[in-house]
Amino acid sequence: MRIAVVEDDDGVGDALVEALTAHGHDPVRMRRGADILLGHREADLVLLDLGLPDADGLQVLRQLRSVSDVPVVVLTARNDERSVVRGLRGGADDYLVKPARLAELLARIEVVSRRSRVAAQEPVRTVTTGDIVIDLTARTVEAAGEPVALTAKEFDLLAVLVERPGSAVSRQQLMDAVWGDAYVAISRSLDVHMTALRAKLARPGLISTIRGYGYRWGN
């Protein structure tokens, strides 16, 4: 992993670069806040000192956050609660006080980068309408806190509808999205699945029929 080590102290910076290299990372040493603001695209993760020669690290963090989601672990001598809270609120993914233990630092780098990879790949998307909660990522549905067992096709149908709450979705769009093509032959299939979906959700009126066109989720 390419790790930007933003640290003006050569003793600390060199030790970090050496340790990270020894553990298979690809560290890039930077000494000023301006360096990371210009070079953040070269980094998969940023280790950020707060006491920098050209700017306050918290300020650098805020500026960085306005242009990038790169994971940031603050590594600083400031151990007062106010700084920790400001660091985390300012967009740091983690906060470590110097001198950090190497194994802990490596573990935290690992956790933060894993979390950011997961977040980037699979944003958790849920839709809540009344007491119905649909998790589009996990493909689960709950009604009044109870799981509703849907078939794959029923879930696909539901997902298309709830992505446009309050908007009319045509039969054509539903069949294209769920079956891949709007064949006349499966038009009846759509009705069958829609009937089953409505029965399982047991919330009359939640899916309205728009005569001659299609369906709508919500009121």
Q: How far is the CB of 47 from Ca ion (least distance, A)?
A: 12
Q: How far is the CB of 74 from Ca ion (least distance, A)?
A: 12
Q: Which is nearer to Ca ion, 49 or 93 (CB)?
A: 49
The answer to whether residue 142 forms part of the interface with Ca ion (CB under 5 A) is no
Residues 40-59 that bind Ca ion (CB under 5 A): 49, 51
Instruction: Choose the binding region for Ca ion from 6-14, 55-63, 98-106, 188-196 (rule: CB under 5 A).
Output: 6-14
The answer to whether residue 99 forms part of the interface with Ca ion (CB under 5 A) is no
Among 8, 35, 135, 163, binds Ca ion (CB under 5 A): 8
Count, residues near Ca ion per rule CB under 5 A = 3
Q: How far is the CB of 48 from Ca ion (least distance, A)?
A: 10
Q: Which is nearer to Ca ion, 55 or 136 (CB)?
A: 55
For the residues of the chain, what is the DSSP string, one character each? -EEEEE-S-HHHHHHHHHHHHHTT-EEEEE-SHHHHHHHGGG-SEEEE-SB-SSSBHHHHHHHHHTT----EEEEES--SHHHHHHHHHTT-SEEEESSPPHHHHHHHHHHHHHHHHHHHH----EEEETTEEEETTTTEEEETTEEE---HHHHHHHHHHHTSTTSEEEHHHHHHHHHSS--GGGHHHHHHHHHHHHHHHT-TTSEEEETTTEEEE--
Residues in contact with Ca ion by the rule CB under 5 A: 8, 49, 51
